Amino acid sequence: MTYLSSGFSVERWTRSSRSAVFGCVIVLAVLALAPPLMGAGAVDRLTALFVYVILAVMWNALAGYGGLVSVGQQAFFGLGAYFTVRLADAGLNPFVSLLAAAFITAALSVPLSFFMLRLRGGEFAIGMWVISELVHLLVNLDQLIQGETGTSLISLNAYDSATRRAAIYWMALIAMAGLLGLLFVLLRSRAGAAIQAIRDNEDAATSVGVKVMATKRLLFVLAAFGVAVAGGLWLATATTFQPKTYFSIQWTAYMIFMVLVGGIGKFEGAILGAILFFVIETYFGSMGVWYLIGLGATAVLFSLYMPHGLWGAVERRFALRLLPIGYRLTLPKYLMDQHDR
């Protein structure tokens, strides 16, 4: 906490936020011990939850903090899975292939960013969808993939099911924790302040010396990397790769739903949204088209009546900040008393 004159103070860490970080460490430690103690179904479901958290946090970083609303992130999700299959077929260990595929996808996103980041608003959103469809068509041309027939990550069969399931679980847990930690540190840095300044007013950010394109490119590539990791993890769990599944716009729709419900532009909101989506899918996912209609209706209602999401409502009501990104100005007591009156 930094104290200013006349009783004003600026704070970032609070007692609740320190407790939250400590609690997160405890939860991660407990989750790391889960595979030997839980059944196969529970381990698979938790792995899916970790993937959902990664997807929500990456889309929230791109749109909620960077102002880059994309409806084409399934391009990176599909590429993460595709390159995993390709590298594994070339003889690379499938678990190493998963990580290498994410780096290849991130590398490809760099030249892509030189074109896409020139677009703004709806042009960027639709442009990303067009890129996703183009990449989908190109992947279908690969003879290994056999069009929409797809293929499988058969090299995973070298491991017994229990070992494979535990390894994928731990990889997903480490990836989720690592990406959350990396994004948290980034957003609290000078680059994070620049990212949010660009979101609020790109022209104003340029006028004060922010390197707009370089900063946006950093966030774009990070989001591509994270979503590609999620795609590879999902493939490792399902083992089967079909382009129409991995390049489906439903993945971006899920990301948008999680972030809107949890709270766009809120670090805790994306995590909360992913957990809520996971619970809804677990109990209502078997309802087919009605499940999808329900998700869409819920997202619309939240956009209209709770635009800051669930976490935004909690934060406004209780002034609770568990994982603070920015700063908060605390007023002196006499001003707070006058405000209460």
Per residue in 65-116, pLDDT (tens digit) is 988 999 999 999 999 999 999 999 999 999 999 999 999 999 999 999 999 9
- DSSP one-letter code for 151: E
- Residue 328: pLDDT band with limits 50, 70, 90: low
Region of residue 136 (phi > 0: left; psi between -120 and 50: alpha; otherwise: beta):
alpha
The answer to whether the beta carbons of residues 77 and 227 sit under 8 Å apart is yes
Report in angstroms the alpha-carbon separations of 253 from 259, 278, 302, 323.
10, 14, 14, 25
- Residue 195: per-residue pLDDT: 87
**Residue 9: what are its φ and ψ, rounded to 5°?**
-145, 150
pLDDT per residue over 8-40, tens digit each?
Answer: 565 666 777 788 888 889 999 999 998 988 888
Q: What is the number of other CB atoms lying within 10 angstroms of the CB of residue 244?
A: 12
Does the structure show a pLDDT above 70 at 41? yes
Closest CA to 179 of 337, 334, 28, 46: 28
Does the structure show a pLDDT above 90 at 289? no
- Residue 111: per-residue pLDDT: 95
* Domain map (residue ranges) of the chain: 2-340
Mean pLDDT over 211-226 rounds to: 93
Closest CA to 56 of 166, 165, 183: 183
The answer to whether the beta carbons of residues 322 and 180 sit under 8 Å apart is no
Provide the terminal-to-terminal Cα distance of the chain, rounded to the nearest Å: 27
Q: Positive or negative CA dihedral for 201, 203, 208, 214?
A: positive
103 versus 307: which is more confidently predicted? 103
Does the structure show a pLDDT above 70 at 155? yes
| Prediction pTM value | 0.90
| C-alpha span between 251 and 227 (Å, rounded) | 10
- Average pLDDT taken over every residue of the chain: 87
Mean pLDDT over 224-248 rounds to: 95
Beta-bridged to residue 3, according to DSSP, are 9
CATH fold for the domain made of 2-340: ABC transporter involved in vitamin B12 uptake, BtuC (1.10.3470)
- DSSP one-letter code for 142: -
- Residue 331: per-residue pLDDT: 53
For tokens 């009156």, the residue is 341
**Residue 239: what are its φ and ψ, rounded to 5°?**
70, -20
Closest CA to 185 of 322, 61, 325, 18: 325
The answer to whether the beta carbons of residues 132 and 74 sit under 8 Å apart is yes
- Residue 338: per-residue pLDDT: 47
| C-alpha span between 6 and 329 (Å, rounded) | 13
Does the structure show a pLDDT above 60 at 2? no
